[in-house]
Amino acid sequence: MPALPSTDHVHDRVTSALQRCGVDHLPEVTGTGHPARTPITGEALFDVAACGPADVERAIGAADTCFRTAWRDTPAPVRGHLVRRLGELLREHKGDLADIVTVEAGKIRSEAAGEVQEMIDICDFAVGLSRQLYGRTMASERPGHRLMETWHPLGVVGVVTAFNFPVAVWAWNTAVALVCGDTVVWKPSELTPLTALACHALLARAASDVGAPSDVHHVLIGGRDTGALLVDDPRVALLSATGSVRMGREVAPRVAARLGRCLLELGGNNAAVVAPSADLDLAVRGVVFGAAGTAGQRCTTLRRLIVHEDVAEAVTDRVVEAYGRLRARIGDPFDDATLVGPLIGESAHRAMAEALEEAAAEGGTVLCGGARCLEKEAPDAYYVEPAVVRMPRQSDIVRQETFAPILYVLTYRTLEEALDIHNGVPQGLSSSIFTTDQREAELFMSAAGSDCGIVNVNIGTSGAEIGGAFGGEKATGGGRESGSDAWRAYMRRATNTVNYSTELPLAQGVSFL
Ligand code: NAD
């Protein structure tokens, strides 16, 4: 098992990375501020200044003024210059940001670098978008009239993010919101303040380099209370919130009560169907990365494997065998040999242990994994062996998202039965089918198939690209971010009718005066 670095080593590495990104003078741990921890050792690295209500008021006020007096009237392609410069700085500091992501979220280095690459990709996308915020022209029913739609900036976008994608989700929102002419106030996860400070510093540098106003972006370090101030502020035109279903249930009614707009990206409970015709080599690789990668801490992590009974034994044996090989590769996420880093913290470990107990009580059999590792080397860190559990049916625990590496295995006889199991959970984020039967693949992607926002064929549930719209249905919240036409959520649409004739015909043939 790759040995763990000391907290001092992690501290020094992240300090250098932060400094290169433009974040200086982080105070040492005193126990009085907001602690920035690393799940690698479970210990605190710095005390970060948390924001109070006055800071929130100032940040929203400044972002709102900047929106009204400067940013919304800056031509979109000129707004694109800021995002292009941000993309250049992200390329330059890809290694630094990946280091900070690994330190704070515990992701293995290649996944952390992949997350930063997503930021770069969305910047490229948004720069192109800055010249493509197209509206439609429609045929008017009246002679001498033109009917068209225009898209305008919305205002301040409040961005609330989760710990597990501490930089990519911010970039999906911010790169697109900025070219759309919005200003951004970001409340990152309380578990990942360092990545947030680094992103903010890079964006501030980009703004200064291109002459954009510094108030286009503010960051608020703090917990739920700080987030709640953004949620309730009527100046926040759009609240884009990523996190658990629990958080969405708290936030959505409050934004609705002030008739604000919400974009919700909440939890998933993702499944893969493995059909008898599937290429099993491919399926097993897709399943293992989807379920055990990122230590089971992706919103798109594979949590349910729905496998045809003819291939169930072969697939399960091969997955369990692959998990056996993972066991020696749990540990320091900076080590290239590591494939499974730590859980984010103690509560995640407790949730995993409780879920395994509940699964056993509901008739499940643990086929492998579940044990805690490295607790002697790092008593405050939580490393676990990813678990595979065979379930007799889709019981209560299987229908919940436990944010840890537990893969439940269920079997099916007909595709109809597989779809019933697949869609029989509250969440609707990501899904996949492994099959070489075109009819099955098409049915899975059809209206009668998977009810998720992401529907894949012959790839796993995790690892989306930025070009598509990302998000899910049902309890996942219905929001879409990133590519395709997700930008429309960050703008308001005006429908314009222009009369260039000398008459005033009324629509629908109405006559008046
Ligand atoms: P979380 O819900 O605990 O916290 C997410 C963010 O919401 C944090 O910034 C937190 O401070 C804030 N928050 C929580 N309650 C709030 C409230 N009442 N008012 C205002 N802000 C509040 O989630 P987490 O543990 O950080 O992340 C894991 C969860 O996020 C999982 O459920 C995962 O599936 C989900 N997730 C979803 C997506 C997606 O795109 N669908 C992406 C990443 C993570």
Nearest to 465 by CA among 430, 489, 498, 494: 430
Largest CA distance in the chain: 88
Place of tokens 């309730």: 232
Quote the DSSP letter at residue 193. H
Return the SS3 of 512. Answer: coil
**CA-to-CA distance for 51 and 324, rounded, in angstroms?**
45
Amino acid found at 500? Y
Amino acid found at 337? A
**Architecture of domain 7-266+477-493 in CATH?**
3-Layer(aba) Sandwich (3.40)
Q: What angle do CA 438, 441, 446 make, to 5 degrees?
A: 120
**CA-to-CA distance for 218 and 57, rounded, in angstroms?**
11
Which tokens belong to 156? 């301040």
Return the SS3 of 411. Answer: strand
- 205 to 60, 122, 262: CA distances (angstroms): 20, 18, 29
pLDDT of 234: 98
Which tokens belong to 94? 């890809």
pLDDT of 83: 98
- 438 to 421, 433, 458: CA distances (angstroms): 21, 11, 11
- 39 to 196, 283, 303, 380: CA distances (angstroms): 17, 31, 22, 8
**CA-to-CA distance for 52 and 220, rounded, in angstroms?**
9
Q: For residue 231, which atom of ligand 1 is closest to its CA?
A: 20
Q: In the structure, which protein residues have their CB atom closer than 6 angstroms to any atom of ligand 1?
A: 160-165, 169, 187, 189-190, 223-224, 227-228, 231, 242-244, 247, 250-251, 265-268, 299, 401, 403, 429, 476
- 127 to 123, 178, 371, 486: CA distances (angstroms): 6, 10, 46, 15
**323 close to 386: Cβ distance less than 8 angstroms:** yes
Domain boundaries, the chain: 7-266+477-493, 270-470
pLDDT of 2: 67
pLDDT of 330: 98
Nearest to 427 by CA among 454, 450, 446, 452: 452
Return the bridge partners of 158, or none.
185, 239
Per the annotation, the verdict on 265 as an active-site residue is: yes
pLDDT of 350: 98
| Homologous superfamily, domain 270-470 | Aldehyde Dehydrogenase; Chain A, domain 2 (3.40.309.10)
Give the pLDDT of the chain (513 residues) as one tens digit per residue. 667 999 999 999 999 999 999 998 777 777 777 889 999 999 999 999 899 999 999 999 999 999 999 999 999 999 999 999 999 999 999 999 999 999 999 999 999 999 999 999 999 999 999 999 999 999 999 999 999 999 999 999 999 999 999 999 999 999 999 999 999 999 999 999 999 999 999 999 999 999 999 999 999 999 999 999 999 999 999 999 999 999 999 999 999 999 999 999 999 999 999 999 999 999 999 999 999 999 999 999 999 999 999 999 999 999 999 999 999 999 999 999 999 999 999 999 999 999 999 999 999 999 999 999 999 999 999 999 999 999 999 999 999 999 999 999 999 999 999 999 999 999 999 999 999 999 999 999 999 999 999 999 999 999 899 999 999 999 999 999 999 999 999 999 999 999 999 999 999 999 998
User: How close is the Cα of 265 to the center of ligand 1, in Å?
Assistant: 9
pLDDT of 3: 77
Q: Environment class of residue 32 by beta-carbon count within 10 Å: exposed (0-12), middle (13-18) or buried (19+)?
A: exposed
pLDDT of 25: 76
Pocket test for ligand 1, best of 104, 159, 160, 170 (most atoms within 8 A of CB): 160
**375 close to 339: Cβ distance less than 8 angstroms:** no
